[in-house]
Structures are given as structure tokens and as C-alpha cells.
Amino acid sequence: MNLFDGIGESGHEQLLVYADPKTGLKALIAIHDTTLGPACGGTRIWPYNSEDDAIKDVLQLSRAMTYKSAISELSLGGGKAVIIADPSLHKNEALLRSFGRFVDTLKGRYLTTADVGTTSEDLACIRQESEYVVGLPANFGGSGDTSVMTGLGVYVGMKACAESVWGSDSLKGKTVAMQGFGKVAYNTAKHLIKEEARIIATDVSDYAIDRAESLGISIVNADDIYDVECDIFSPNALGGVLNSNTIDRLTCQIVAGGANNQLVSETESEDLRNRGILYAPDYVINAGGIINVSCEVGSSYNSDRGRDKTEKIYDIVKTVIAVSKQEGITTSKAADTIAERRIESVKGIKQIYR
């Protein structure tokens, strides 16, 4: 990729690269925008096929964090870190502590937390080398597992969409097709089951399948999930699942899930809109994790405060839907517009975060 053109076009402030041969650490930190406050985002450990793939991922994910924090009314900017490694093979104390030293060089411009391949226990290890860590285990005074509040946010986002489509936010009797049944989907499902919704799920992991079946959830093959007769399709696995090959197969009226970067492009958002399917922008409804860890910044963590702020995703989704209707644009464009307006309104009084 043309690195400087890519960074310039996306509006990033910084892309930092660090290698530590002694520990095998190969890490990237991308800081997208710090208008609203220090950049915050998870550290992803993943065995990327190439360095280009890792760079593209960290740039895309950090930009999404800017928008996620902005629309969630947080005083945080967007950042992300990736470590090129297989977490099941290469993750160890030395590697994590070396990464912590890398984070510490930024002196608070970037706050890290958990993501794919990292846990709250890993964060405690990183914390030994840097104070700029959030999402720590509860016994360290942190907010613990981010998937709990992320799942809650996806659930209340579904309810806001239901109110718009069906005139009631009740999900009782509705069928939800969940693509992927990891930690976020599991926590979302617990709320859905309590409300007597019907869930059909798929996953490539035997552990995830067993966990879903333990809750009485029906299972289908991975590719069949797009064809399931359902009211809500919920992507909770990889990005890019909503594309020209899959959208035509959907039978739902709402798409709402916890996965990042669900749309290949804005074109897919238009396709959903043209089919009469309401799309809940992913970075809006999956913001519960970052909302929750934001409650650690500058104060002692309070779980009630984290839950209250996460439940406001319901109102944010309704605002996105309203702007979409008023301005005749897709919900994904409406979410971007709301986030960009907030950032621009603050730029006049605040420069790059130091």
C-alpha cells in the first residue's frame, strides 16, 4: 500500500511501528484523531498474512474508534494497536510487557484495552510497564470483561431498531439469527433469552457451539445462517459479511450485531436500505465496551455508571434513525454525520491531544 497517501486520506495523526527481536514483538499503534481526548482502543493480537494486512487493519479500526467514541459522547479519540502474532502460540509475559513499554512511550496519547486475542488478564501484564491501560480486571480496580457491556449495548440497539420497525421495542417472539457466538453474542443472547426471543446461531468454534446449545439455541451450518427465516440478522464474527453475495439472501427486517466493519462499503448500506432492511451501524451498537472502560479514565470505576451510559445506546440509535429519515441518507451515513459534526464543533477550541 502507499502508506503516506493512505494515512493522509484517512486523516490519521500517527502510525507507530515497533519491533523487539528479543521477545518477537512486532507491533503497530495507529492514532486517528485526538480532538475529543486521548486515543483509546484495543490491542488486537492476530497472525496477519502480511504486514500490509496488519497496517490496513490498524488504520481502519482506529478510525472506527474515533467515530465510536464521538457518537457515544465520550471525551476520547480513536486509536488501535495490533500485534502480529498467533495469540495461542506466541503470547507470553515478555511479549506483553515489551508492548506495554511501547504504549508507555506515548505518555497517554494512546490508552490501550482488550480486543481480539487479548484478555483483561493480559492487560494486567501490560499494566506492569505502563499506566495507560483501561479495561483491567475487577480485582485491579478495573471494569473487567468488556464483552458484558458490549453485549448489553447490542441488545438495547436491537430494541431501538425494533421500536422503529414494529412500533414496539419488545423482542418477545422475534427470531434472531446470530452469525458467530463468541463472548459478545453470548452476553447479547442472555438478554434476548430473558425477553423470550428465539435464537438461531452458527460458529466455527466447537466451544462456541457447545455454549450456544447449553442455552437451548438452535444451530445451523455457517453458510446457512444468511438464509435463516428471521426478524433480526446479527453479525457477531468477522467484518465484511454484508456484501453483494449475502445481502440478497437475508430475510430479516433489521441487521444489528456486534461485529466490527460489517459493511464492505457504503454501497452495501444503500443495498440494505433499498431492500427495506434497517441497519444498526456496528460502531454505534457495539460501543458498550469502550463506553464502559471510559468510566475508568480519570476516576474510580463504577459499574452502575458504566451500565447507565451503555444503555444510552438505545437513544443514540434512535437519533441515528431519525437523522437518516430527516436527511434521506443511510443509517451508516447518518451515524458518520453525527460523529463528524461533534468532532468539527470541538476542533475550533482544541488541537492535537498532548
Set of cell numbers at residue 32:
486517528
- Parallel, antiparallel, or unpaired for β 77-84 and 25-33? antiparallel
Q: Annotated catalytic sites, by residue?
A: 80
**How would you write the chain as a 3-class SS string?**
CCHHHHHHHHCCCEEEEEEECCCCEEEEEEEEECCCCCEEEEEEEECCCCHHHHHHHHHHHHHHHHHHHHHCCCCCEEEEEEEECCHHHHCCHHHHHHHHHHHHCCCCCEEEEECCCCCHHHHHHHCCCCCCECCCCHHHCCCCCCHHHHHHHHHHHHHHHHHHHHCCCCCCCCEEEEECCCHHHHHHHHHHHHCCCEEEEECCCHHHHHHHHHCCCEECCHHHHHHCCCCEEEECCCCCCECCCCHHHCCCCEECCCCCCCECCHHHHHHHHHCCCEECCHHHHCCHHHHHHHCCCCCCCCHHHHHHHHHCHHHHHHHHHHHHHHHCCCHHHHHHHHHHHHHHHHHCCCCCCC
C-alpha pair distances (Å), 76 with each of 16, 34, 135, 264, 268: 19, 7, 15, 26, 29
State residue 148 phi and psi, 5-degree precision.
-65, -50
| Residue 166 · residue 191 · CB < 8 Å | no
| Residue 109 · residue 76 · CB < 8 Å | no
| Residue 150 · residue 285 · CB < 8 Å | no
